[in-house]
Structure 1
Amino acid sequence: MHAKDIMTVPAHTVRADAPLDDAVALLEQKSITAAPVVDERNVLVGLISELDVLRQEMAARAGDAARVHPSARRVAEVMSGLPLAAWPNADVADIAAAMVNQGVHSVPVVVDQHVVGIVSRCDVLRTILPTDDSAQHEAQQRLDHYAGGRRRWSVTVHDAAATIDGSFDNDTELAVAEALVRTTAGVTNIHVAAQPG
């Protein structure tokens, strides 16, 4: 499995020259722990996390200098430097190892230094310990892709058992759909509610 298979798209980015309170608002509104920081050309230049903001706030409280309101500070003053990044075809196992080794929670996915998505620890965990919801989502995406982007069949997953519903034109189409769902992480059993027409 690759980064492009599990990354969140789009990644919510913030400009390096934006006020810090814009970044705080983004993290809160999107319920994310970190956001890639980009320059005026949308090139990745850093990462700002809740921890970066907390660290800055604690330093300001501990210092003797007058505290500066977040709207007066810029993201570039608080962000971590150029972060660990991955490319779309990076192996998820390699990303997970890098996250553990470097102690990071999120890894931006880039193409030509431009952010195209982001992989979080939760994204990686879903591939290791898939839930029924994540297995159903993945299986449905596979079927929709096979159907040329259309929703020809629906799939539900309950207690790791998948049920495919819909009509198939022939046995080959049915066999391919079954194989796509059967090989989805988190699916251990499969039932087809409709047979070839």
Structure 2
Amino acid sequence: MSERQSSMQVRDLMIRSVISVRPETSLREAISILVDNRFAALPVVDGDGLVVGVLSESNALAVGPDQQDASVGSTMSTPAEVISPGSDVSTAAVRMLNGRLRSLPVVEQGLLIGIVARRDLLRVLINDDVTIAAKIRSLLDDYAGSRRQWTIASNEGKIEICGGFSSKDEQRIVAALARTVPGVRHVDVLPTAVAPAVGI
């Protein structure tokens, strides 16, 4: 990977809105989720949000048609292959290649906070807007933590950051941080809800 990608972290690229299933979910329901959303795998979490396994396409294909009423827990791979949000993107790429994995759940203190897929890594190789958005995400995570639900869109250096902000001051701080990233030409901050205050 180039210097640009190797300096990036998993938190910069991960998808934060993750669909997961529970061990007691029926295999039939889980397969429907995989097919309908074109997922390669589903994280399996317990009642506390801790990742306890992964249900992959391979797991599902290994089960016969007469076993689809079985639970996900009886079919999933354990222990789950996971990665932390602070891991380098290059580390994620090596683990995916060596383990022949198409995605990795991202966990913080055992809790599922996102997922990163091979296609997310590939997008960085071809899209400068993705790189800009990822660098902004990294700055915002350093400022407010990786669990804040802000969405960042970049189009030829024009940035939109949407989500919940604790105050007008926080909106100004977020916009100022975004403007420090090379390639950013304009920043719009669009509040969609009120979020609890976050200390700097």
Aligned to 2:44: 37
In 2 relative to 1, CA 35–163 (structure 1 residues): closer, same or farther, beyond 3 Å? closer
Query: Which residue identity lines up with residue 90 of structure 1 in the other structure?
Result: S
Q: Displacement, 1:176? A: 8.0
* Mapping 1:155-174, distance limit 5 Å: 156-157=155-156, 162=157
Alignment partner of 1:55 is 2:62: yes
**Structure 1: stretches of 5+ with no match in the other structure:** 61-66, 165-174, 183-189, 193-197
Which of 65, 68, 76 is residue 66 of structure 2 equivalent to? Answer: 68
Which of 122, 126, 133 is residue 130 of structure 1 equivalent to? Answer: 126
Distance 2:96 2:130 in 1: 21
Alignment partner of 1:81 is 2:78: yes
**Conserved in 1, the CA contact under 8 Å of 2:10 and 2:85?**
yes
Q: Displacement, 1:132? A: 5.7
Which of 98, 102, 122 is residue 101 of structure 1 equivalent to? Answer: 98
Which of 102, 107, 110 is residue 110 of structure 1 equivalent to? Answer: 107
Work out the percentage of aligned pairs sharing the same amino acid: 29
Alignment partner of 1:13 is 2:20: yes
Q: Displacement, 1:30? A: 2.3
**Conserved in 2, the CA contact under 8 Å of 1:17 and 1:39?**
no
Query: Which residue identity lines up with residue 108 of structure 2 in the other structure?
Result: V
Deviations 1:77-114 (A, max 9, x none): 22111222111111111111111111111111111211
Per the alignment, in what secondary structure is the counterpart of residue 182 of structure 2? helix
Distance 1:140 1:88 in 2: 15
**Structure 2: stretches of 5+ with no match in the other structure:** 1-7, 160-175, 187-200
Q: Displacement, 1:142? A: 8.2
Deviations 1:31-81 (A, max 9, x none): 21111011233221110111211122xxx3xxxxxx5251x2110122111
**Count of residue correspondences:** 158
Q: CA RMSD in A?
A: 3.5
**Conserved in 2, the CA contact under 8 Å of 1:107 and 1:119?**
yes
